Structure formats: C-alpha cells, structure tokens
Amino acid sequence: MADQVYLDYNASAPLCSEARQAMIAAMDVAGNPSSVHASGRAARKIVDHARRTIAELVGGDSERIIFTSGGTEANNLALNGLEDVTVFTSAVEHPSVIEGRVDAKRIPVDGNGVVDLDALEAMLKEASDAGQKVLVSVMLANNETGVIQPVAKVALLAREYGAKVHCDAVQALGRMPVDMGRLLVDMVSISAHKIGGPKGIGALAIAPGVMLVPQIRGGGQEKYRRGGTENVLGIAGFSAAAERAEAKMANMANVAALRDRLETELASEAPELLIAGKGTERLVNTSCLILPGMPGETQVMALDLAGVAISSGSACSSGKVRESHVLREMGVSDAGSAIRVSLGLETTDEDIDTFIRVWSRMRGNAARKKARHAA
C-alpha cells in the first residue's frame, strides 16, 4: 500500500499498529475463554478487558456488549433478535439492514438523505393504533455520503409511541462521538475494521431491558446471546483500535480540513460537480462526488490505474459496482456517476494533492474525448 494513495477508509481502514501488536500478543494465549484453567482465564481476561474498552467508547455497559463477526451480523442480530416486532428502517440504510429485514417498512428521506421525521411519526402512530410493537433502525452516518442522521430526534419520537431504536453506527465510530445515552437508543452496531482494527469482528451494544433471541445457537457464549467460541485475536485487536480511536478523536479536525480542501478545489475546477449531502451535516472524512456523464466505475478504474484507491458506493457488494440505492432515494438523477472518497487519520496533504491531480487529468481526458466524438 506504500505506493498507493489510499482514500477508501469507509470500506476499511488499514490495520493500525496498536491492533497488530495486541493481536500478536494474543496469539500466545492458547486457552478457550470458556475454560476455567489458567490459559482459559488469560483468554477471558482479554475478552473482558475489550468489553470494558468498547463499552466506554460507545457509552454502554460492558455486560451488554455482544461480540459478533462484524457489523453485518450485529445489524442482523438487532433486527431479528426481538420477537413480534414491526421494523421501520430508513430508505438509505446499509445493505445489511435493507436486506436483513426485507419485510421492513421504509422511512423516506429528503434530498440530502436525511430521514423525514414527519413521515416517521405518521408511521409510528399508525402502528401504535394497530397495537403493533415497533423497532426503528436508523444509521448514525451513511456509509456512502457521510450524511449524519438525527438519531436522538428519531429516538425521542419512537419513545413517545413505545418503540425501540437500533442504530447502525459502524461508519460513525471513531469519526464522531457515539454515545448510547445521548442518542437515546436501545442498540448500537459497531465494527472493528472501520477504526483500524481487524476484519471479521464487531459488536452489538444493547441497553438494559433489551432481551434478544440468539440467531447463532450452540453454546452459552455472550451470555447465551450469540453462540460460538469468541474470536480472541479479533477481540484483542478491536480493543486496541477502540482505545486508539478514543485517544485520536480530536485529530479528525485535521481530516476535516483535508476533506474540505479537496471539495473546494474540485468544485472550483469543475462547476458541474455535485457533492451528495452537501447541504447537511456529514462525516468530516467523506465526499460523495458526482461527475455527470462519467460512470463511477470508469472513474474508479482510472484512478486505480493511477495509484489512487477510492470506491463507488458501498463496498459490500462482492466487488460489483452498482447504482447506489442511497442516491436514488435522495433523488439524484445521475447516481451512476458517483464515487466515494473517504479519508482517515493517516491521510496527508500529499495524498489530497495526488487525488486532485489525477482526478483533474481524468476529467480533462474525458472532456477531450467527448469533444472529438462530437466533432
């Protein structure tokens, strides 16, 4: 990766040194966390420490941190773990939520991708009048556009009608404060690899009083809420990455300055450029750039050939580039021309300079080719 400018942090952040060292140390612990002998207790100590660390990061209770295989499983557990509930999700959720409950009712969004609170209230009232129990699932920050949702306002509305609230905070973790108490939510999904931890480990934090039916059975792990031997190596790395994320949160101001410079310079050069969600609050590291008439897939490949890694929409589509349902729900007419540029703590001014130079050259080449064909 040394020769590549990496600007795809929303897909996955590089493994940080703290997580790497924690995982190397955990490799020497042979025991199963469920075993009562010394080696098992050593493994259990790693897991328990991680629970406390991660609980502090999200303002939760360490006894109510459920380790999962990642954000997708955490979302699925939240959506399917409550019995006899009608599920409402925003129309711009991550595929693991959209496809995790295909029977869910969709909350519409405005042109910036922000949930329509009036529509949600009408849905809640209708469900309450029908005697239905409801779970509302709204992400904290969108993985494609970075748009931040008014989750606390959603939760206040939900409470008025006796509904529970789940928040997918996978993309927000480490980039903005995530506090279950302030968000007023009952469940929060998070994932390690977005904050420099290893892939394949995540967690669902639940509030007191939330009782879940396990979706993976066959053991008493995670207080009978998720069967299977704990991924001690992954959990150790997750814990270290969480500690680092907490310590470096203030550094996101530097990331914001880089992202703002990138958008300002591109917009100055290309007046036709659209920035999705520009009119509302977004994650400071994310830019969804729409260059009308130029397919996003073409842009991704051209930039990759020039040594710059970005993406087109969500990275959870088995390598397929497809038109964004998020942008479609926002009413973007040229959604197929979108790319996502996402920065991290390691991003430098030189990285931004390189991206701007390569993108500008790509745009210029496309314009000249179009002019030749028109002639």
**Do 14 and 211 contact (CB within 8 A), yes or no?**
no
How crowded is the C-beta side of 11, counted as CA atoms within 13 Å? 17
Distance CA 281, CA 259 (A): 14
Q: Which of 16, 167, 288, 316 is catalytic?
A: 316
**Which residues, 6+ apart, have CB-to-CB distance to 372 below 8 Å?**
none
The Cα–Cα gap between 106 and 103 comes to: 9
* CA distances (Å), origin 94, targets 5, 52, 75, 308, 372: 26, 27, 9, 25, 40
Residue type, 13: A
Q: Is 115 left (phi over 0), alpha (psi -120 to 50) or beta?
A: beta
Q: What's the first-to-final CA gap in the chain, in angstroms?
A: 41
Phi/psi at 277 (5° precision): 75, 10
Classified as helix, coil or strand, 209 is coil
Whether 316 is catalytic:
yes
Cβ atoms of 10 and 220 within 8 Å: the answer is: no
Determine the Cα–Cα distance for residues 300 and 284; give it in Å rounded to an integer: 21
- Which residues participate in catalysis according to the annotation? 316
